[in-house]
Amino acid sequence: MKLYVEQLGEQLQRRLAPVYLLSGDEPLQLMEGSDTIRQAAKAAGYRSRELFYADVGFDWRLLQEACDSFSLFGELRVLDLRLPAKPDKIGAAALLRYAERPSEDAILLITLPKLAAVDQKSRWFQAVERLGVVVQVWPLEGEKLLRWLDRRLNSKGLLADQSGLRLLAARVEGNLLAAAQEIEKLHILYGKGRLTDEQILKAVADSARYDVFDLAEEVLRGHAGKACRVLMGLKAEGVAAPVVLWALTREIRLAAALMAEIAAGASNESAFAKHKIWESRKASLGLALQRLDRNALHQALLLSAKADRIIKGMEAGDAWEALLAVCLNLIAPAGQTTSERIPSR
């Protein structure tokens, strides 16, 4: 059965299929579609999850063994199979075997990039389609993008006119991950309610040279000079200090969560997978985890709390100096030094 991603929720309410395949090059829809399936499965009693990365050298016998063996305590499972490309011959044969004899106590969730038309005619794909649900994720354009933006805003309690939706669409150019971040920013800035075109334009203007996510990236990489320039650029462009603080504290909490997973014995890759870290962000987060420890993150949170009080007028001080202190603490914690020159402010 083939479905559009927006039809997935309705299908999951009716019944759970033995296998789901999500394919496409639009990362946010792919990620959220997979999350929807996992949440529905968990609600239905599939509380255990086994994760498989079928990259180069993957042993496909592991999937077969998982299919053949019942879980230790008889738990229902989700077999979460992630492929970086279409399966090779061995992988195609393994998926065909699975579709012919699926596990009785598991749901197989397959995610992979966009498949060409010829790949959709292969035996393994057609067997999966007959057995379960195939969802092809497509980039959104035109009216479809506007409807998606409207739904996303509504989920945050925000309303916008058609003109405002078109402003936002022009800014994100079909990048739904960027759109989700911009909508989160609008929610932080203005709270629930109707947005004016002026508010949207001010928050997501094309003329913006820097982005709060650029700042977070430079901080994670330990680039003191560049982070300072970006921070001062954000100030000059009129970006709201609460938005900058939100971006920084989000990274602090994420780093703390990853550090806890690794301290408990997880590998970097498994920790990244659990927290759904995109490939493009693994390098910068890996550098931060090498440089920082729990004390540094705790100190960064204390500095963030101080910045929050200054921003709200509950404590004397300059908000941007307080934000800079958070950045520098993450770049060079106490006891460390940086050789980078910090620009004069």
Between CA 193 and CA 195 the distance in angstroms is 6
How does the average pLDDT of the chain come out, rounded?
86
* Structural domains of the chain in order of their starting residue, each with its CATH number: 2-137 (3.40.50.300), 142-203 (1.10.8.60), 212-331 (1.20.272.10)
The residue count of the chain comes to 345
Which tokens go with 341? 């020159």
Which tokens go with 102? 């699926």
Residue 81 has pLDDT above 60, yes or no: yes
Between CA 37 and CA 46 the distance in angstroms is 11
Nearest CA among 9, 61, 49 for reference residue 32: 9
Beta bridge partners of 81: 52, 110
CA distances from 30 to 141, 172, 256, 326 (A): 16, 18, 26, 33
Question: On the CB side of 176, how many CA atoms lie within 13 Å of its CA?
Answer: 22
3-state helix, strand, coil in the chain (%, to 5): 60, 10, 30
Between CA 330 and CA 300 the distance in angstroms is 7
Q: What is the pLDDT of residue 278?
A: 80
Most confident by average pLDDT, 31-35, 208-212, 272-276? 31-35
Which tokens go with 187? 């929610």
Burial of 83 (0-12, 13-18, 19+ CB in 10 A): buried
Determine the average pLDDT of the residues in 148-163: 92
Q: Cα 97 to chain center, whole Å? A: 32
Q: What is the pLDDT of residues 241-261, one digit of tens each?
A: 888 999 899 999 999 999 999
Which tokens go with 221? 């990489």
Report angle CA 193, 199, 205 to the nearest 5 degrees: 140
Q: Grade residue 323 by pLDDT with cuts at 50, 70 and 90.
A: very high
- Top-confidence residue, 72 or 221: 221
For residue 78, which amino acid is it?
Answer: V
Is the overall model pTM greater than 0.85, yes or no?
A: no
Q: What is the pLDDT of residue 156?
A: 92
Report angle CA 98, 100, 106 to the nearest 5 degrees: 45
Q: At what angle do helices 176-190 and 142-155 cross, to 10 degrees?
A: 40
Residue 334 has pLDDT above 70, yes or no: no
| Residue 230 CB contacts under 8 Å (≥ 6 apart), including other chains | 210, 214, 215, 218
Q: What is the pLDDT of residue 123?
A: 94
The sign of the dihedral angle between the CA atoms of 303, 309, 314, 316 is positive
Which tokens go with 190? 């203005």
Three-state SS string over 98-114 comes to HHHCCCCCEEEEEEECC
Give the DSSP H or E segment for 123: helix 123-131
The sign of the dihedral angle between the CA atoms of 122, 125, 130, 131 is positive
Q: Please report the beta strands in 28-96, taking only residues with DSSP state E, as ranges in sequence order.
A: 48-53, 77-82
Q: Grade residue 341 by pLDDT with cuts at 50, 70 and 90.
A: very low
Q: What is the pLDDT of residue 318?
A: 93
Residue 339 has pLDDT above 50, yes or no: no
Q: Cβ(241)–Cβ(188) under 8 Å?
A: no
For residue 64, which amino acid is it?
Answer: Q
Laid out side by side, the sheet with 133-137 consists of 2-3, 133-137, 19-24, 106-112, 77-82, 48-53
Nearest CA among 185, 237, 229 for reference residue 206: 237
For residue 105, which amino acid is it?
Answer: D
Helix (H, G, I), strand (E, B) or coil at 18: coil
